[in-house]
C-alpha cells in the first residue's frame, strides 16, 4: 500500500494530493470503496478537518475503527497529526507522511496498530 500511495502522490497522470494518494492506495489494494478519490481533493495541503494531515485523515476514514490507534502511531513517527506543525517543524516531507499513513493502514489490515 505504501508503494502505491507514494507512486501516485504528486505524480502524473494522477497528481493526487496526500489524502487522495492514501485513499487510492487503500481502495486499490483492498478493493473496498470508501469514497470517490476526487472527493478527497479538498482534504490535501492542510485542508483536512481541524488542519489534520490529509494522509492521516484519509487513513482514519479508511479504517474508522482504528482511527485513534492510527493517529497515535502516526504522531509517534511524525511528531504531530497536524499538517502545519509537521511542515513547520520541517522534520519530514509530505511524501513521507503519505508513506507513513499508508504503511500504518496496511499494518492495521494485518493486525492491531501499535
Q: Which residues of the chain have pLDDT under 70?
A: 112-114
- pLDDT value for 99: 98
Collect all residues with Cβ–Cβ distance below 8 Å to 108 and sequence separation of at least 6.
Answer: 63, 66, 69, 70
What residues does each domain of the chain span?
A: 2-110
pLDDT of res. 114: 56
Dist. CA 84–CA 110, nearest whole Å? 30
CA distances 16 to 25, 80, 89, 114, Å, are 11, 22, 24, 28
pTM given for the model: 0.94
Q: Rounded to 10 degrees, what is the CA torsion of 84, 89, 90, 96? A: -70
Amino acid at each position: 500500500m505504501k508503494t502505491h500511495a507514494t507512486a501516485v502522490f504528486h505524480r502524473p497522470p494522477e497528481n493526487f494530493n496526500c489524502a487522495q494518494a492514501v485513499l487510492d492506495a487503500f481502495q486499490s489494494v483492498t478493493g473496498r470503496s470508501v469514497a470517490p478519490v476526487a472527493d478527497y481533493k479538498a482534504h490535501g495541503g492542510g485542508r483536512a478537518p481541524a488542519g489534520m494531515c490529509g494522509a492521516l485523515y484519509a487513513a482514519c476514514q479508511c479504517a474508522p475503527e482504528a482511527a485513534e490507534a492510527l493517529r497515535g502511531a502516526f504522531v509517534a513517527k511524525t511528531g504531530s497529526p497536524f499538517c502545519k506543525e509537521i511542515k513547520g517543524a520541517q522534520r519530514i516531507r509530505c511524501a513521507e507522511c503519505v508513506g507513513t499513513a499508508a504503511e500504518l493502514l496496511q499494518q492495521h489490515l494485518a493486525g492491531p496498530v501499535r
